[in-house]
Amino acid sequence: MPAPLSKETRSLVIRLYARGSMTYEEVAELAAASRASVSRFLRLHRSTGSTDPKPATGGPAPRLASSEEEIRTLVNATPDATLEALAATWSSQRPALMVSRQTMGRMVQRLGFTLKKSPSRQRS
């Protein structure tokens, strides 16, 4: 998702449209914004009196955030297991909290575990 347009652009849209002689399309072209953005800014200004962007929410909480210690124990118990195997083991032990390989990978990475690879041999 792109960053919100600046407050200066938002206030420019309001000022240009307040003149009364321009359409949404003309305002959008002059302010380097889309017509939909112009419409949103004007609607927001009419309803709240402000055009400030909404604060970032950060997205949903990690699904396994409350289970970090249990996952750490699982990884330590089976250090050579693949992410698929870890996810399958976790899902079989806790069917109400099934996870994918990708979810398990994010949690394992968040806990600080790394992939262990042996160095390549010298080519002859």
Classify residue 14 by its DSSP letter.
H
Inside any domain, residue 54: no
Compute the mean pLDDT over every residue in the chain, rounded to the nearest whole number. 87
Calculate what percentage of the chain has a pLDDT beyond 70: 92
**Model confidence pLDDT, tens digit, residues 40-78:** 999 999 999 988 887 878 888 878 888 899 999 999 998
Inside any domain, residue 90: yes
Domain coverage including residue 13? 7-48
Name the packing angle between helices 83-93 and 68-77 (round to 10°): 120
CA 54, CA 44: separation in Å to the nearest integer? 11
pTM confidence score: 0.51
In the chain, the number of structural domains is: 2
Inside any domain, residue 14: yes
Instruction: Check residues 116 and 48 and name the one with the higher pLDDT.
Output: 48
Inside any domain, residue 94: yes
Residues 39, 70, single domain; the answer is: no
